[in-house]
Chain A
Amino acid sequence: MQTKKVKPTNNRVTKTSSSRVIKKMLRYKYFYLMSLPVVLITFMFYYMPMYGIKFAFTKYGPFAPPKFIGLENFRTLFKTPQFLSAFKNTISLSLLNLCIGMVVTIVFALLLNEVKNKFAKSFVQTLLYLPHFLSWVVVASIFTIILSPQDGFINQILVQLGYKPIYFLVSEKWWTPIFLFIARWKDTGWGTIIYLAALSGISPELYEAASIDGANRIKQCFHVTLPGIMNTILVVFILDLAKVLNLFDSVFNLMNPLVYSVSDTIQTYTFRVMSQQADYGYTTAVGLFKSVVALVLVLAANQISKKIKGSSIL
């Protein structure tokens, strides 16, 4: 392998391992050059900000230089009711969204997989994938208009049926279910793509064998179909878990001050505190706390998948 492109000048290099590595690296010199733009952007926009994590341990506002205060910010954090409420909401909203999302998406994929009419299937799929590409700004706009208490579509129906109009997006009782519904409306179809691909990979012979053994459709589903896509389910689960606490776009566009108690998440809270009070030290601490919790969650999930499957996903 390393004999392929040896240049004459390199002939007298002894065959020690370090010189072999250098020779190999020389062979790849153009590749290193080509990787530079990617490395540069990664460092500038992903690694350089990590240096700023140190501000989590300082008192730092826009007009004063950072002053080291140790863990004081984290102590304040756990004494601030708004943060605790945001933390609770982040956990509950994201776990609800994750679990409901997984179940609904898998059920949709299974049902779509049963549709044998090619035209109907592709029509439904085309329509289902569409909302994923709309921005949260647009989706939230559409639903703000549709759920409007004055002349929104849903409330018009309620009024026609003799009910009172409901202020969906400003009601603490209604906000969470509405949020979860809109999240499903937007992303269920997109999620099914990956499962449909996995489902099409299950060998038909397995179904034949199962039905010869007397398994009915429901038994086939549990003993052939679900084990067949188990691997995909785990991968999707871990990838979703990696972004589980990233709850910003969806919430930010649908929330308003009246429903902070049920909708405020760590990220929306951080953004609000940062833009209103510019307390960089404290807000960095909030962000760091979230990042660490998220990292622990993913690594734990990865360990669990290692136990179950015998191989890690990361």
Chain B
Amino acid sequence: MNDKFSFKKGSRARALFRIFNVFFLLLTVVAILVPLLKVVSDSLDATGSYGLRLIPLHPTLAAYKAVITQTTLYTPFLISIYITVLGTVIGLFLTTLGAYILIQDDMPGRKLFASLLFFTMLFNGGLVPTYLNMKNLGLMNSLWAIILPLSLQVYNLILMKSFFEGIPKALMESAEIDGCTPMGIFVKIVLPLSKPALAAIGLFFAVSFWNEYFNFMLYISDPNKLNFQIKIREMIIESTTTQSTASSGIYSKTLQNAAIIVTILPFAVIYPFCQKYFVQGITLGAVKG
């Protein structure tokens, strides 16, 4: 919009910059897209000779069929879904409650509550004390050991608080005068007005629960309670076979690629619909700093 103010001399430099910018962004798109495309393409490849192709020569869904029919992957998949759904619900519950307390400016003890939460961002007991604590709580091999600690993320709480601060105070005060209890105000006024923030932070929670693997490695030894990410690790990162060997007609590499896509797919489906919410969510915190 400030082009019209630039001098003639600058306009050629400007055009050069435009071309450079387009070229640069194209390069970026390629750099992001190629690894992802390659995975999709190789997961559909039937020949087992991957080469430089980004489009499979003889596309087949055999690998997906193999992944989906592999019964050893059913439980991990269900565990992943269970953790994600339950964790997101509990996470949103704690986050909204905490943020609602944080906006009560006059409440005695609010500062203490805030610094109690904030300090956990700066300092923590470390890996081993956390592990021993979990052992003492008797939560080894329990999925609560995964869900509960992760459902309180102070950064999300701060984002939620910034959003709540944008809700007009007058709304809450008039409800209070009408005899509404704090819980009533929270459920009937604050939450319905916070749908965009709930969507954004809900997505952040869902993603972090879906992607969780480390706490599983620490606390869960029961093979029936491991999630999909752990299985992916076993299949690809920890796998020692480097050559693509064919088992039951499907190359192991094709199978690995298909497994990666299965992990990404649930997220990829909802991603385009949530983009506007998470951009809103993250910039909310930025305004406040």
- Residues of chain A touching chain B, judged by Cβ–Cβ distance below 8 Å, are 1, 21, 24-25, 28, 30-32, 34-35, 37-39, 41-42, 44-53, 55, 108, 111-112, 114-115, 120, 123-124, 126-131, 133-138, 140-146, 148-151, 153, 156-157, 160, 185, 189, 193-194, 197-198, 204, 207-208, 211-212, 216-217, 220, 231-232, 235, 242, 248-249, 252-253, 267, 270-271, 274, 280, 283-284, 286-288, 290-291, 294-295, 298, 313-314
Distance of A196 from chain B, by nearest CB (Å): 8
**A42 is contacted by which of B29, B33, B116 (Cβ under 8 Å)?**
B116
Interface string of B88-132 (1 = CB under 8 A from A): 000001100110110010111100010011101111111111111
Within 8 A of A (CB), among B181-207: 181-183, 186, 207
Query: How far in angstroms is the closest Cβ of chain A from B165?
Result: 16
Known: A41-B151, A127-B32, A211-B5. 9 other contacts (CB 8 A): A39-B113, A45-B149, A47-B120, A142-B39, A145-B253, A156-B51, A194-B283, A217-B6, A295-B122
Interchain CB contact under 8 A, A55 and B132 = yes
In the assembled complex, 30 residue pairs joining A and B whose CB atoms fall closer than 8 Å, in A order, are A31-B101, A32-B109, A34-B97, A35-B101, A37-B94, A37-B97, A38-B94, A41-B151, A44-B137, A44-B148, A55-B132, A111-B24, A114-B21, A124-B25, A134-B267, A137-B229, A141-B256, A145-B257, A148-B242, A150-B242, A194-B286, A197-B286, A207-B2, A216-B6, A217-B6, A249-B214, A271-B127, A290-B126, A295-B122, A298-B122
Given contacts A41-B152, A135-B211, A141-B237, contact A34 B29 (CB under 8 A): no
From B56-64, B65-73, B271-279, give the one contacting chain A: B271-279
With A and B bound together, what is the CA distance between A50 and B181 in angstroms?
Answer: 36
Please determine whether B213 and A137 come into contact, CB atoms closer than 8 angstroms: yes
Decide if B167 is an interface residue (CB 8 Å cutoff): no
With a cutoff of 8 Å between Cβ atoms, the chain A residues found around residue B128 in the complex are: 52, 55, 270, 274, 280, 283-284, 287
B residues contacting A by CB (< 8 A) are 1-2, 5-7, 10, 13-14, 17-18, 21, 24-25, 28-29, 31-36, 38-39, 42, 49-52, 93-94, 97-98, 100-101, 104, 106-109, 113, 116-118, 120-133, 137, 148-149, 151-152, 181-183, 186, 207, 210-214, 229, 232-233, 236-237, 242-244, 253, 256-257, 260, 263-264, 267, 271-272, 275, 278-279, 282-283, 286-287, 289
Residues of B within 8 A of A160 (CB): 52
Q: Across the two chains, which residue of chain B brings its CB closest to A211? A: B5
Chain A residue at minimal CB-CB distance from B41: A153
Known: A114-B21, A194-B282, A249-B214. A37 touches B123 (CB 8 A): no
B133 touches A217 (CB 8 A): no
A217 to B278, CA, bound (A): 32
**A53-B183 contact, Cβ under 8 Å, with A45-B148, A46-B120, A111-B24:** no
Tell me the bound Cα distance from A262 to B100 in angstroms: 46
Chain A binding surface, main DSSP class: helix
A48 touches B133 (CB 8 A): yes
Enumerate chain A residues within 8 angstroms of B289, measured Cβ to Cβ.
231-232, 235, 313
B29 cross-chain contacts in A, Cβ below 8 A: 123-124, 127
A-B pair count, CB < 8 Å, reads: 270
From the candidates A46, A124, A137, A189, name the one contacting B124 in the complex (CB within 8 A): A46
Distance in angstroms between the alpha carbons of A115 and B22 in the assembled complex = 8
- The docked-state distance in angstroms from the alpha carbon of A285 to that of B120 is 19
Select which of B117, B126, B253 is within 8 A of A151 by beta carbon.
B253
Query: In the complex, are the beta carbons of B149 and A144 less than 8 A apart?
Result: no
Taking A148-B242, A211-B2 as contacts, is the C-beta distance between A28 and B122 under 8 angstroms?
A: no
The answer to whether A55 and B127 touch across the interface, beta carbons within 8 angstroms, is: no
A45 / chain B contacts, CB cutoff of 8 Å:
130, 133, 148-149, 152
For A208, the chain B residues whose CB sits under 8 A away are 2, 5
Q: A52-B132, A208-B5 are in contact. Are A38 and B98 (CB under 8 A)?
A: yes
Contact status B106-A1, CB under 8 Å? yes
A123: B residues at CB distance < 8 A: 29
Residue in A55, A135, A242, A249 with the greatest tally of chain B CB atoms within 10 Å: A135
Q: Is the CB of A34 within 8 A of B183?
A: yes
A131's nearest neighbour on chain B, judged by CB, is B32
Contact present for B129 and A52 (CB under 8 Å): yes
A293 to B11, CA, bound (A): 51
Across the interface, do A287 and B152 meet the contact criterion of CB distance under 8 Å? no
Closest to B37 in A: A153
Whether B213 contacts A35 by the Cβ 8 Å rule is no
- Residues in chain B near residue A156, CB distance under 8 A: 50-52
Closest Cβ of chain B to A86, distance in Å, is 13
**Complex: A208 Cα to B214 Cα, angstroms:** 52
